[in-house]
Structure 1
Amino acid sequence: MRIVIKYLWFLCIMLSTANMLAQVYDEDVAQAPRFTIRGSVIESDTRNPIPNVNVEVNGGAYTTTDYAGDFRIEAKKGDELIIRHKDFETVYYTIQSNERITVEVESNKEETEYKKLKKFSRSNPNQFESLIDSAETYLKKDAKRSIKFIEKALIESNSVKENAETYEVLGDIYMFWKQYDLAVSNYRISNQNMKTNIVKLKLANAYKLNKNYQESIQTYQGVNKKGLSNWQQVQLHEGLGDVYLLTKNYPLSIDNYEKGLAIAQKHLITPKITDLNSKIAQAYNAKGELQKAEGYFSKSMKLANTENRKRAAEEKVKAADFQSTNNNYTSEIALRKEALEDINDFENDSVLDNESALTPQKQNYKIGNAYALQKDYENAISYLEESIEVADSKEDLIVQKDATRKLSEIYRDAGQFDKALVAYQSYVDLVEKLYTKKEQEISQATRFSKDIVSKQNRILSLESDRTLTESQFKLTAEQAKRQKLIIYSLIGGVLLLLVTALFMFKYIRQQRLANNLLALKSLRSQMNPHFIFNALNSVNSFIASNDERTANKYLTDFSLLMRAVLENSEEDFIPLEKEIKLLELYTKLEHFRFQDKFDYSINIDENINVQDFVIPPMLLQPYIENAVWHGLRYKKLKGHLQIGIAQITSAEIKIMIADDGIGREKSKALKTENQQKQNSKGMGNIKKRVAILNEMYKDKVDVLVDDFQKGEDVGTKVVVTLKKD
């Protein structure tokens, strides 16, 4: 029980540590201070400043160099500085601090000068061979430079054979740099220019590496075997065996390997004898015939021992992998230890990159893993620590990470939880380093691929230009004139149509605006007489009841209201402050007449700045009028009219007019046919006004009408939402 608790505690600590580290990393990146980078761009040979260079940071900042070649730009640690100009290749630099940066560049004058030289001087017959040799020399060192020589070789090429050779070398370049799709394209072009068995074998291999397995098989099978050398025949059968192995067709794979082995043995091609024994063993292993596989691995190791230590180590590692997959850990450990001895002997004389299967850190890791699977934790820890130390010295983060994780797991299984935690924390740090490194590698690989693709496109365009130049079909001057005339006529016609369409669009828009303005004016002209008529009816009722004093007071207030209404009658919108005063005056007038029917209250949110909002004039008055005349007037008990203005957002307010009168349905039932027609016309005018205003001013006003409450007198609630300009 105590062990289980310790284990759970250990897992919790590891998870919390990982989360904490991830959070700290994210916060550090987000809060990284920004600083000003000062720099200059100059030519490396003349030291002359280069003005108008594009300087950009991947975080978003952008500037250009001045006449003295200097620049300043805001950035933070870890940003990538990108320096572009038409006269030199793009420069990338990762910023580490606010140091001053001097960028020395070589202007891309080489190609221009070369083209001028070619244009004004006769081509040197040996120039093509020299350029091809140069491309092959830089093939494994500098892909961009090698491809530049290929471009120049294409310009110098004067025959189909030279064309084929150029594209073959270009395919070789892409093969070495693992751009298999581009390698396929160029081998195909070379093969189209001149069919050779060498290029066909290269094309089939490129198809295989690009995972075009059926195309690879068809290409291998299409090779004329009679014209092949002994070595090429072995290559053909070996290549077919590889493809069939990848497609899990083990019988055909073994058959082709054995055919290649027979040719290699007959003609004493020793390296291929070893390779093919090893590959036959791998095929039998994949097929599940382990005894046969072990026999061929034994043969390949014996043969490799007669060659050199490196070859012997390669076969021992393959045999060890075979033993590992079949859980023969004792044999695996013995083979890997022998391989390690061989590796230590030749390592100083041979360059092994971290991707090689023969690195000592990988073998130590796999030995430690095999010991761990046997639960021999002491030996496992020893070899894993050795693997971590060697991987650290060789900057092999992948093996160092895997070995550290495995070491943490072994400490955990051995009950040494403190050491397990320390190892796990180291593993988390390594994962973070590896993640950063992989991001940089992906970025570099992306740029490399873009550069390679752009250069390939340039080469294809060169080939297209060559084809067009060599074409015997030339347009006469008359045909050129006709084409220009047709093109100019089409362009002129298109421009005329565009201008016509633009004028029509503007005319339609102006016409629609004019129609809307006219409609609004017409609707306002209908609203004002409607309002005046109702107000005069109120005055008439006071006079009829011989209440002259009230009638005079009412007329005074009415005149003020009429003056304001007439002043605003030509406006589409008025300030909300004015509309509130009009509402207060109008509601006061209606209350004069129906004091025994309702009371009213007007509440305005203190936070609203009423001067910031505008509203169509006479928009709210008809709703108040309906509330009084058709709702509250017929209520048995005294009712209440509530007007409220509240802020929803900084750019939006809500105006509510609510009454607890008899409601719309009862009011409609009480009206005469003539009254129903008049009311529907008034409310219809409001709806039309709102619709036109929203079309003109992009949904500025929204009106919602609903019942106010439940019960006998449901009342009516009108909510008007008003948006700021």
Structure 2
Amino acid sequence: MKKYFTLILFILLFHTGYSQSIQQEKSFIVKGSVKTYETREPIDNVRVYVVGGRATETDIFGEFSLQVKTGDIIFFESPNIETIKYTIKSDEDIDVLVKGYEREQSSKKISRRSITSLKHQNYLDSADFYKKTDIEKSLTFIEKSLSVLSGKSENEKTAQSFSKLGDIYLYYKQYDLAISNYKSSLNAGYTTETDINLGKAYVLNQEYENAQKVFSELLKQNQLTVYNSILIYEGLGDAYKGLNNNTGAINNYKKALKIARDNLVTPKITDLNSKIAGVYSEQKNITQAEQFYQNSLSLAKKENPKRAVQEKEKVADFYNQNKLYDKEIELRQSNLEEVELMEEAVQSPVPVSTEAQDSITSQKINYKIANAYIMQQEFDKAIPYLERSIAEADNREDLVVQKDATRKLSEVYKNVGDYTKALETYQEYVQLVDQLYIKKEQEISQASRFSRDITLKQNRISSLEKDRELSQSKYDLAVKDQQLVAESNKRQKLIIYALIFGMFMMALTIYLFYRNSRQQKLANNLLALKSLRTQMNPHFIFNALNSVNNFIAQSDERSANRYLTEFSTLMRAVLENSEEDFIPLSKEIELLELYTKLEHSRFKEKFDYEIKIDENVKVEDFQIPPMLVQPYVENAIWHGLRYKESKGHLKIQLTQPDSETIKITIEDDGIGRRKSTELKTLNQRKQKSKGMGNIKKRIRILNDMYKDKVDVFIEDVLKDSTGTRVILTLKKD
């Protein structure tokens, strides 16, 4: 029987003229597919080739890819279709649809549902393969796995895709997105494993009450596997620990430990011993904690070297917290030898953790051993370990450890009386701080791009799922319309329901877009605040170092040393606070007192000062952004009091008008803002104060985030424009 075939080519052609002339010179990969017109069933084993060039065949999905040039003629050949010719004009995909195609019965025939299932599983496997190395590729494969699904019958596969997506976000510590996708997975199709992962994500996101509810509900299930039972009790213990219910945590950890011991689940026995020890340590039950830590240490040694190294560090930290420095040093020295052997074998730090800052390396262990010796006042023993830590950190470009070890070494030299080396080492520390600042700026920029890319990918995946649901809804509606054609009243109701559903979906989409926009704005504000804080530190350091330079220029070595000692104390406080969005007001006052004391030591002949805190001020009730007040005090000294001919006065006063507000007043009787502006050089007038500029930006962002939390008012004290008063009002919440 003679067969007749009709070929329909859907070709989208772009880029004519000059772009075509370029393409004629270059080869490129063109992709396409061959499918039946009626059912869109893929046609496999179709030979696709260029005369005198490359050739390929369509796969079981009916797809192909072939390297060609513009102007090449592609041939499609198969025993079941007529030979087809197509001229390449661009790099757009080619879709070939064949009418009247009848597949020969064979053992190779694959149903449409089987093909979809195979594609879906392949995409999930690919997403899992790239999970730890390339998050963008991994998310792309998740998106593809959802794009091949359609219909309610594939809810199980939809659940698998969203569960895998939750795993990816969990690995990259995007806990809120992990929670959202685990919920989507559970809505599409429930599995115990996904529910357990949801509970873990709640714990990691510090939503301990939600985690407790999830794990408590899981315990009500019948026929739980042994491993799932262990995970559930362990998760419940983690939730109780987060809620500061140590008794509940220990009870659940011990239940999980009993199941693990009865069924010889060795890795979990080690983990649970370690977690129980951690809770006992928080309760200051040293004996019990040490007993369980010894158990975990013994078990970890039987597992593998990396696990043993990790557990030794936990136990050493426990000894450190409880001032058992001799035991800590002995254990870390033993651990150091093992880590060095492992690093020598692989020429890199031991990757016992997915986080670089948590990885156990020889430079970190050397630093911790040195710190233990310092706590025992054995400075001479600490120096070699600090020097090794610095050298190894420098070799591996670990700026954080190198900075901390250099700072600690400077303090040790100071304690042993070697002030020359202390100064040299401190100068190296300052250089490292500058390098680390640059690195942190780059990391912030990368984190911003990473967050933006993740958000876009998630939005596309969410949009794809909504489109799939909407398409399915339209299909269901069409079927029902055909079945109920004689029942007009019911059909009208269906139309009304469909319209309501569409409006609901539109409203939901608008709401989700608005919520995502707010979250993105909050994230951007937090990044901006962090960036501005990190900019304040170098600005402040450079100004203070100018003061040290002034003493040295005057050959006042004693004053320079004293100033440098006090300055290092101030810098330590500044650096400790620099990572925080808010710090207690008491810390800011201490920093302010120290800074004012330093400036007064330099300009004794220029001003006196007083810091007055009213009796009714409840300092402990307030939080304040770090380094918020200092730039105003600096302005008063450097631009107001420094140029006054007679000795001036600086007054800093804290008052509390009401229970929710605190007022900070910085008042000087200097030359005033107008006179200060007149004294500036032309070049100085063109430049704006970086410190004050950053403060204005920080206040603007804080007020945007926290609804007018900070208010600043600046005025002249006297009518002749001399003296300046800055009134800074801070709300509690």
Please report the TM-score for the alignment, with normalisation by the length of structure 2. Answer: 0.49
Larger Rg: 1
